[in-house]
Amino acid sequence: MSVYPPTPTISMIHAGADRKKAKRPPNVGSRELNSQENEMLFQLVGSDAVSLTAAVVQLLKSDRGSWRIELQHGVVSLVKDYAQRAYFLRIFDILDERVVWDFKLYKAFRVQSFPQCRKLLAFEQMENGEDGVILGLNFFSEYEAAEFKEHLDRRHAQERKSNTPVRPGMPMVMSSSSG
């Protein structure tokens, strides 16, 4: 009987790596698209990213208090990009098979909804030197607007939770269950 642990095999090494890698959520498409259109969207999202939610929208821009259409139509997706380790709002033209708008979510990103216009979500553009410019997503469906806002709010809450510092001076208690 040997006192040394067994030499790890390739299968043991790969099994350990698989356990460390969290299982990725499935792609989620738009209810307004058929399954073939959603598959086209997922192909555009790519293999190293996932669509957490998607919807059919127009992109609006507000300058000096009035809205104008910046992009007539597209499919917006809340994308978790694993390669870039970031979240994005990306609008795709699935027929032309391309990304037509890309917006990296910044720290403390929040969207605002409006009771008088439940298909609109608005947010401030904080990058590219365009502070104070308000962008809006005008959704085709009220349901998808509400679902999209819920995903963005959940992401914001998760970000706040992970950024909450442990108060200094508070000992961390480690307990073990025996039983």
* pLDDT above 50 for 29: yes
The CATH number of domain 24-157, selected from 3.30.930.20, 3.20.20.10, 2.30.29.30, 3.40.50.300: 2.30.29.30
Q: Which residue has the higher pLDDT, 33 or 167?
A: 33
**Weakest mean pLDDT among 13-17, 76-80, 121-125:** 13-17
Query: How do the residues of the chain divide into helix, strand and coil, expressed in percent and rounded to 5?
Result: 25, 35, 40
* pLDDT above 70 for 170: no
| Residue pointed to by tokens 């969290």 | 22
pLDDT in tens, 128-154: 545 567 899 999 999 999 999 999 999
- Cα(15)–Cα(30) distance, integer angstroms: 35
**What share of the chain in percent tops pLDDT 90?**
59
Residue 31: half-sphere exposure toward Cβ, Cα within 13 Å: 10
pLDDT at 147: 95
Exposure string of 103-142, with b = 16+ CB inside 10 Å and e = fewer, is bebeeebebebeeeeebbbbbbbbeeeeeeeebbbbbbbe
pLDDT at 78: 96
User: What Rg value do the Cα atoms of the chain yield, rounded?
Assistant: 22
pLDDT at 10: 52
Contacts for 96-101 with beta carbons within 8 Å, 24 or more apart? 97/40, 97/43, 97/44, 98/44, 99/44, 100/71, 100/74, 101/59, 101/71, 101/74
What's the whole-number mean pLDDT along residues 154-165? 77
Helix (H) or strand (E) holding 28: none
pLDDT at 7: 55
pLDDT at 158: 84
Minimal CA–CA distance to 155: which of 62, 50, 56, 66?
50
Mean pLDDT of the chain: 82
One-letter amino acid at 170 equals M
* pLDDT above 70 for 177: no
- Cα(37)–Cα(118) distance, integer angstroms: 25
